Amino acid sequence: MRPANEALIVIDVQNDFCPGGALAVAGGDDIVAPINALLPEFPVRVLTQDWHPAGHSSFASSHDGAEPFSVTQMPYGPQVLWPDHCIQGSDGAAFHAGLATDRADLVIRKGFRAEVDSYSAFFENDHTTPTGLEGYLRTRGVDTVTLVGLATDFCVNFSAVDAAKLGFRTRVIESLCRAIDLDGSLSAARAQMTEAGVQIA
Ligand code: VGL
Ligand code: ZN
């Protein structure tokens, strides 16, 4: 068991990000068993769940004529438009059936406001609206976080960069993540994480 100040944060290991899902990430399900093996090592265990209402503003289908994976301008900046995914209560939004969710202390949902996406476990994509995770971790005495999950270049990246900016010692285990890799987004994500002081293991 790791010391009491360490949390494992498992990002978005949900059916829609696994093979066969609406926004499938190649090999997304390969990481389930090793994540299960890692969970008991950590005294604080958090899962995140992408959780969008139908018609969410990050869906290409909500923008006339927009193709999935194109980029639009939102009031808070550029936003990739995704296929409909992780709709609240759907099978796609459920955790992968093999994930040991019973071992989690906290499930934090994000992306539930129709007009703002939320890649990060800490802040919505406006970079100001908090999810509450920072307070949860601090009040439990956590100052060091390890991140794993989906997808490396979006939700893991944004979460890790925010964690480091908030002052948490932050590590990403890249072998327990899988990437979407849209137009070089994986190499950009690695650079952003390194720049923010995230340790990539
Ligand atoms: C994610 C795109 C849209 C992720 C979530 O979990 O990385 N990516 N919503
Ligand atoms: Zn999403």
Rounded mean pLDDT of 76-85?
Answer: 96
Structural Rg of the chain based on CA atoms: 16
What CA–CA distances, in Å, run from 79 to 71, 138, 172?
A: 5, 30, 24
pLDDT tens digits, one per residue of 21-59: 999 999 999 999 999 999 999 999 999 999 999 999 999
- Expressed in angstroms and rounded, the spacing between residue 3 Cα and the centre of ligand 2 is 32
- Cα–Cα distance measured from residue 102 to residue 108, given in angstroms and rounded to the nearest whole number: 14
Q: Which residues touch 145 (CB under 8 Å, ≥6 apart)?
A: 6, 7, 8, 9, 137, 163, 168, 169, 170, 171
Which residue's C-alpha comes closest to atom 8 of ligand 1?
154
Ligand 1: atom nearest CA of 111 is: 9
- Expressed in angstroms and rounded, the spacing between residue 96 Cα and the centre of ligand 1 is 15
**Whole-number pLDDT of residue 42:** 98
Residue 63's SS3 state is coil
Q: Which ligand is nearest to the Cα of residue 87, counting in written order? A: 2
pLDDT tens digits, one per residue of 100-158: 999 999 999 999 999 999 999 999 999 999 999 999 999 999 999 999 999 999 999 99
Which amino acid is residue 59, in one-letter code? F
**Whole-number pLDDT of residue 94:** 99
The answer, as to whether pTM is greater than 0.95, is yes
Which residue's C-alpha comes closest to atom 2 of ligand 1?
154
Which residue's C-alpha comes closest to atom 1 of ligand 1?
155
Q: Which residues line ligand 1 (CB under 6 A)?
A: 12, 17, 50, 82, 119, 150-151, 154-155
Burial zone of 191 (CB within 10 Å; 0-12 exposed, 13-18 middle, 19+ buried): exposed
> Residue 155 gets which letter from DSSP?
I
- Expressed in angstroms and rounded, the spacing between residue 1 Cα and the centre of ligand 1 is 30
- Expressed in angstroms and rounded, the spacing between residue 85 Cα and the centre of ligand 2 is 6
Which amino acid is residue 107, in one-letter code? V
**Whole-number pLDDT of residue 43:** 98
**Whole-number pLDDT of residue 3:** 98
* Mutation pick for ligand 1 pocket among 9, 10, 11, 12 (CB with most ligand atoms within 8 Å): 12
- Residues noted as catalytic: 12, 110, 155
Share of the chain above pLDDT 70, in %: 100
